[in-house]
Structure 1
Amino acid sequence: MNKRNLMIGIIALGISLMCLIPASAAGFTPQNNALPDYFDFSDNYYTVYGGPDVSANIVGDNEFYRGDSVTLNINLMNKGVITGFKSEEDDDPIDELDQKLQQQEQSYESQRTTAIGIVAILTSPDPNVEVKSGPQEAGSLAAGEQTTSPIMFNVEFSENAPSGEYPLTLNLYYGYQKNVQVSGDNETSLGVTNMDVGLWYDVGSQNVTIPVNVKKEAQFEVTNVSGQLNIGEEGMLHATYTNTGNEPVKDAIVRISAADPFSTTDDQAYLGDMDVGESAVAVFKVKVGDTAIEKPYAINSEIKYEDTKGHDRVSDNVKIKTQVSASSNRWIDVTRGFCDCSIGYRCYCVVYET
């Protein structure tokens, strides 16, 4: 029976440490170009060109709204090919043993395009997009294969992220077969006796740009507030809303949330269609409770509207900043005296005796 030995040469930097390798060019890049001296124990019949070529794309939509926290599903596919062979032998005739060894080496060399133990790291150069996940393992991919399930990264978009495209960088690191050497004693009817196969592995790296987009949308600000709100009284509050975003809206309706010391039976106002930069005034009838004090207050509001794609949307919370003043009835006549109601929520009364 033929004796067959398989000798594996592995680089000093193992696959488990690939996360520490700096990113390189977008295409396949070997980390070590030279073979060590101790690898030359057999014959090298071919030099092979080519290697893994891992592409990446997002599964599903790549458009999101500012403030979103999402999971990006990324599919990987290995499109690696052997681009050429170069014979390292001269043109002299060769014996049957060398022919057999050449065939064996060529068979092993075809595995050069396999990406082994892929590790993926997603980064964002823009602070408006934050990648919350660390390195992800994607297994090994032979040429023509793709991941059976996508790798996943959690990503957060800033509440203040402007609309537009944000390119993320996916750094890929993997092992691949760099070179093969074979040797043997004799060619027999059963094959080559005492055949040794030396496999040298290196680390390759690629980076792929993954574009994500923050959608255009309307944004609202209260740009002016008027009206008199007094303690213990009902008054009219006028709030001017301006569309400060980059998308027009249709049929905008604003609703306020009247919390203590405010109350209202009139919590909605129609703003209508608002183009970018356009303003509209909402008017609310608001009652101020007797427990209020003279100071600035903020009333929460939100706007429901229809976007340019016909979808119903609700804005972020928009605050209406207003001032509460003392009651307009500071002095109240009584039958035999008067009351001062300007201090807190109690009235101090003076009653004349007859």
Structure 2
Amino acid sequence: MKTGKGLIFLLLILATCIAAPAAAGDKYYTNGPDISAAIEGTNELSPGTDTTIVIYVENRGLIDLKLVETTDITPDYLPTTAKGLTATLKSGISPVTVKSDPQIVGDIPEGYYKPTQFSINIPQDAKEGDYELMLQVDYEYMYKTDQTGTDAISYRFKKVSKDIPVLIKIKPSVQLEISDVDTSGLYAGGEGYISMNITNSGSDTGKETAIYINPVGKNPVTPIENSIYVGEFKPGDEINARFKVSVSSDADPSQTYPIEVYAGYKNYEEMSSQTATTSIGVGFTGKISFESVGEPSVAYAGENSLIYVTYKNTGDATAYQAEGRISVVDPFSSDDDNVYLGDLAPGESAQGIYKVKVSSDATIKQYALDSEIRYNDAENNNYVSDTVKVIVDVQNDSNTTIIIAGIIIALVIIAAAGFMISHRKKNSE
């Protein structure tokens, strides 16, 4: 009985072995990976811009034939997988500048794609048209296996370097070319105009075009009028643009400051668009300033006196219709503290005469009175100068001075007479 059961068990084991065939391996026949590339979204680019484009790298490789052999070992790698792929974008014959280094994409199996990004610059003078960038892809793939027996396999990899054209289109655009920038009327502390000639050197006609200026960074130049309307701006058209600006009074006239110029318009697709910014340098002269020159004026305690002040324009621009004003404080008083000086070009002087009264108890010394100049610039804007100090020498009243002078003269005469009498007596002896 036991022998029969053992025989049945052996028969079952044998049947199982016959039903389960030996493990089979796969063998592939293919031309390897097939790599292609395309830009994500639109491939239309605008001149004068820095942008980032996303390129999808796709593996379209196919396995042509797969054989299953009981004696073959299935390889660990598919021969259609692009391994360790890197992508390098090159400008080709386009005007585009590529700013990114080669990008590591990694392994791409068949039927998959991966994105990679590149920063590029399209120069402002780029002409419209279709261009080809070149995407160089470098990778390797397993192209052959060597099997030893039924339990060992080795792999052979092939390196591939391939250039793939990537199509882009540079759109028509308005491009600004700026010349003949004039800031000759600008000076520190004043207002004036920046004028320039602007040409549309692009290939698109700007509709409803407006030109704008914008100071860059911490800038002493501030637009009062920062835009002008042009309307239709055809390729080759030239306009003269003027923008009113002010310059802070503490600005350094030895420096040139950057101003950006750009245009907003509707393009050929009736879409709102903006040109690239173009930078210009803005310079100006020093502020209009004045100083009091000459000797201090003399005033007498207890009397009305005339103070003569010579004002000199020490700035770099003409002051028009200048008027002087003096601020009187104790011990001075005045009903006539304004004088007309007229136009003062740089380096010119004019005299102002103020009538003041000095109190009788004034301390005899020199006083510094504050004065200022009110004037217009070339654009008829009105300004007030910084404070100009006027030195006034207060002396004793003029009558006292005359009496003292008379006494001194009398003493001199008496002394001289005494000397002569004494001299005669000596001679007579």
Name the structure 2 match of 1:114: 80
2-structure distance, mates of 1:314, 1:49: 51
Q: How does 1:5-44 map to 2 (within 5 A)?
A: none
Contact 1:240/1:279 (<8 A) preserved: yes
For residue 207 of structure 1, what is the amino acid of its counterpart?
K
Name the structure 2 match of 1:72: 54
Could you tell me how far 1:242 is from its partner in structure 2?
0.9
Name the structure 1 match of 2:410: none
Q: How does 1:139-158 map to 2 (within 5 A)?
A: 139-141=108-110, 145-147=111-113, 150-157=114-121
CA deviation vs aligned residue, 1:249-286 (integer Å, no higher than 9, x gap) = 21110122368654554322112222222212223334
Q: Is 2:214 the counterpart of 1:257?
A: yes
Name the structure 2 match of 1:136: 105
Higher RCO structure, 1 or 2 (CA under 8 Å, sep 6+)? 1
Could you tell me how far 1:50 is from its partner in structure 2?
3.4
Could you tell me how far 1:72 is from its partner in structure 2?
1.5
Name the structure 1 match of 2:44: 63
Q: How does 1:85-104 map to 2 (within 5 A)?
A: 103-104=69-70
Task: Provide TM-score, normalisation by structure 2.
Answer: 0.51
Name the structure 1 match of 2:319: 329
State, as a whole percentage, how many aligned pairs show the same letter: 15
1-structure distance, mates of 2:98, 2:108: 27
Name the structure 2 match of 1:211: 166
For residue 303 of structure 1, what is the amino acid of its counterpart?
A
How many residues are aligned here? 279
Q: 1:284 to 1:176 in 2, by over 3 A?
A: same
Query: If you compute each CA radius of gyration, which structure gives the higher value, 1 or 2?
Result: 2
CA deviation vs aligned residue, 1:267-319 (integer Å, no higher than 9, x gap) = 22112222222212223334455555656655433221112222212233334
2-structure distance, mates of 1:279, 1:196: 81
CA deviation vs aligned residue, 1:293-349 (integer Å, no higher than 9, x gap) = 656655433221112222212233334555535322279465387896747xxx987
Q: 1:266 to 1:139 in 2, by over 3 A?
A: closer
Name the structure 2 match of 1:279: 238
Q: 1:198 to 1:161 in 2, by over 3 A?
A: farther
Q: 1:80 to 1:285 in 2, by over 3 A?
A: same
Name the structure 2 match of 1:269: 228
2-structure distance, mates of 1:293, 1:338: 28
For residue 67 of structure 1, what is the amino acid of its counterpart?
T
1-structure distance, mates of 2:62, 2:83: 15
Task: Provide TM-score, normalisation by structure 1.
Answer: 0.61
Structure 2: tracts of 5 or more residues without a match: 1-16, 286-315, 325-338, 356-429
Contact 1:80/1:113 (<8 A) preserved: no
Contact 2:59/2:108 (<8 A) preserved: no
> Partner of 2:174: helix, strand, or coil?
coil
2-structure distance, mates of 1:174, 1:115: 8
Name the structure 2 match of 1:301: 261
2-structure distance, mates of 1:317, 1:60: 25
Aligned equivalent of 2:136, options 164, 170, 189: 170
Q: 1:201 to 1:257 in 2, by over 3 A?
A: closer
> Partner of 1:324: helix, strand, or coil?
coil
Contact 1:4/1:196 (<8 A) preserved: no
Contact 2:73/2:153 (<8 A) preserved: no
Q: Is 2:32 the counterpart of 1:51?
A: yes
For residue 276 of structure 2, what is the amino acid of its counterpart?
D
2-structure distance, mates of 1:353, 1:146: 93
Aligned-CA RMSD value: 4.4
Could you tell me how far 1:140 is from its partner in structure 2?
3.0
Contact 2:191/2:246 (<8 A) preserved: yes
For residue 244 of structure 1, what is the amino acid of its counterpart?
S
Structure 1: tracts of 5 or more residues without a match: 7-45, 86-100, 184-194
